[in-house]
Amino acid sequence: MIDAFEHLACPIGQAGSGRVRYGAAMALWRDGQISEAQLEVYRIAAAHDGRDPAPMLAERGLPTPGWKAAELLPLARLYRAARVHLLALDHPGAAELRAALPLAPRRAAPPVAEDAAAQAVAAQWLDAARHAMALAQTVLSDAIATAAPQLRWTHHPAFTGQDFGAQLAANHAYAPLVGGDDKASAFGLLLIAPGQLLRDHRHLGATLYAPLTGPQRWRFGPARNLTTKAAPSPVWLAPDRPLLAQTGRVPFLALIYRAQAADLPARIIPAADWADLEQDQHV
220 CB-near residues (< 8 Å, 6+ apart): 241, 242, 243, 244
Helices (H) and strands (E) in the chain, counts: 10, 10
What type of residue sits at position 152?
R
The tens digit of pLDDT for each residue in 154-198 reads 999 899 878 898 899 999 999 998 865 455 678 999 999 999 999
CA distances from 252 to 22, 165, 167, 220, 255 (A): 43, 18, 15, 18, 10
What are the two backbone dihedrals, phi and then psi, of residue 251, each rounded to the nearest 5 degrees? -60, 145
Strands (E), 40-145: none
User: d(Cα 176, Cα 156) in Å, to the nearest integer?
Assistant: 9
The tens digit of pLDDT for each residue in 201-213 reads 999 899 999 999 9
In the chain, the largest separation of any two C-alpha atoms, in whole Å, equals: 71
Sheet holding 207-211, edge to edge: 172-176, 186-192, 252-258, 207-211, 235-237
pLDDT, residue 2, reads 47
Q: Model confidence at 68, in pLDDT bands (50, 70, 90)?
A: very low
Q: Averaged over 50-63, what is the pLDDT? A: 89
Q: Examine the pLDDT at 122 and tell me if it is beyond 90.
A: yes
Q: Averaged over 215-242, what is the pLDDT? A: 95
> For residue 219, what are the β-bridge partners?
244
205 CB-near residues (< 8 Å, 6+ apart): 185, 239, 258, 259, 260, 261, 262
**Are the beta carbons of 37 and 65 closer than 8 angstroms?**
no
pLDDT, residue 264, reads 83
> For residue 207, what are the β-bridge partners?
237, 258
Which range among 40-49, 63-72, 215-224, 249-258 shows the weakest confidence by mean pLDDT? 63-72
The full set of domains in the chain, from first to last, is 2-66 (no CATH), 73-278 (2.60.120.10)
